[in-house]
Amino acid sequence: MSDTGHPPAPPKALLIAAFFALYTVWGSTYLAIRVTVETMHPFLTAGVRFLIAGALLYALMRLCGIGRPTPMHWKNSAISGTLLLLGGNGLVVWAEQFVASGLAALIIAIVPIWIALLDWARPEGQRPSAKNVLGIAIGFSGVVLLVVGQGKDVHGAGIHVGAVIALVMACILWAGGSLFMKHNARPASPLLGVAMQMLCGGAALLLAGGLHGEIGQTDLSHFSGRSLAAFIYLIVVGSWVGFSAYIWLLQVCNPSLVATYAYVNPIVAVFLGWWLLDEHLNGLTLVAAAVIVVGVCVITLPRNFGEIIRSKIRRPAQSPARVQE
């Protein structure tokens, strides 16, 4: 007998396509950002990207009949959008002027570690379990190995300490924005919430670009064709396809399974940076990448992960008995 108390399972092909987009698209955005900032300003570029993507997505949601958000929703979107997109994404874009895209992706991979720490630090926060403490220690060890093993920045000089600090700050701010979004009111439609965050975060990025002096320094004739192509890729594929796949998967899959993107994306980014941009890659960097991935796995996998896998394996053997009943 079928279980009519649950919604029908999504098509397998659609699930595969969504996970492929989540793994490869978000992993490839680090490469696209690196190419974009070769000739374009970081904060203005990111601001325009999210304003365009957010405005079109917001208009689409409203045309589909999604209700108008409340002032409280806008306030919370302004806070979370600023933390996530100005603090998180904006600092990544700025840092990739000086460090390889693969290094940036590997440092950003420790976001789940910062989420665990900040969740502990907040009022009535949850104390990390022994498993999480182990994952935190492993992840930070990997970052230390990564910085030591990288050695040079994208210009061939010593590693840019300011860019590494900016990436760590980006992790902290992204984690803070994620926790704020989790514990405060947001629209019932996840995609409408994403559009609002893009609009608010994009506006904050444009303001940061103005304060950084980027508006007066902008010369469209200096933009290369490949930087413009990467910029369009970030809007269409990174912001729309990647975000949409992520939001949809959160609704139809176990969140712990969706969270696996956190340790697949950096692998994709490191490979693409080495393959397409000839970024520096040595044995110590590969070891550091493996250590970071292990640390994030320890943090993100649920305590009963083994039981979940075993139940999935046993389920086909039990299905004939269910049919007979």
Residue from 171, 186, 184 nearest 117 by CA: 171
Cα dihedral 134, 136, 138, 144, rounded to 10, equals -150
Instruction: Give 6's pLDDT tier (boundaries 50, 70, 90).
Output: low
User: Does residue 15 lie in a domain region?
Assistant: no
User: How do residues 102-137 score in pLDDT, each as one tens digit?
Assistant: 889 888 888 888 888 888 888 777 777 888 788 888
Taking 80 as the threshold, does the pLDDT of residue 19 lie above it? yes
Residue 39 class from Cβ within 10 Å (0-12 exposed, 13-18 middle, 19+ buried)?
A: middle
User: Does residue 4 lie in a domain region?
Assistant: no
User: Does residue 92 lie in a domain region?
Assistant: yes
Domain that holds residue 141: 20-324
> Measured between alpha carbons, how far is 172 from 191 in angstroms, rounded to an integer?
24
User: Which residues lie closer than 8 Å to 115 by C-beta, 6 or more apart?
Assistant: 175, 178, 179
Taking 60 as the threshold, does the pLDDT of residue 316 lie above it? no
What residue type is 209 in one-letter code?
A: G
User: Does residue 190 lie in a domain region?
Assistant: yes
User: Which residues lie closer than 8 Å to 304 by C-beta, 6 or more apart?
Assistant: none
User: Does residue 11 lie in a domain region?
Assistant: no
Number of helices (H), then strands (E), in the chain: 17, 0
Q: How many CA atoms lie within 13 A of 149 on its CB side?
A: 21
Q: Where are the alpha helices (DSSP H) in 11-160?
A: 12-20, 26-36, 42-63, 71-81, 91-95, 101-108, 111-121, 130-150
What residue type is 56 in one-letter code?
A: L
User: Does residue 12 lie in a domain region?
Assistant: no
Most distant pair of Cα atoms in the chain: their distance: 74
User: Does residue 3 lie in a domain region?
Assistant: no
Do 226 and 84 meet the contact criterion of CB atoms below 8 Å apart?
no
> Measured between alpha carbons, how far is 168 from 107 in angstroms, rounded to an integer?
7
Q: How many domains would you assign to the chain? A: 1
Instruction: Give 202's pLDDT tier (boundaries 50, 70, 90).
Output: very high
Do 197 and 55 meet the contact criterion of CB atoms below 8 Å apart?
no
Do 140 and 171 meet the contact criterion of CB atoms below 8 Å apart?
no
- What pLDDT is attached to residue 322? 36
User: Does residue 106 lie in a domain region?
Assistant: yes
39 three-class SS: coil
User: Which residues lie closer than 8 Å to 129 by C-beta, 6 or more apart?
Assistant: 303
User: How do residues 66-110 score in pLDDT, each as one tens digit?
Assistant: 989 999 999 999 999 999 999 999 999 999 999 989 889 888 888
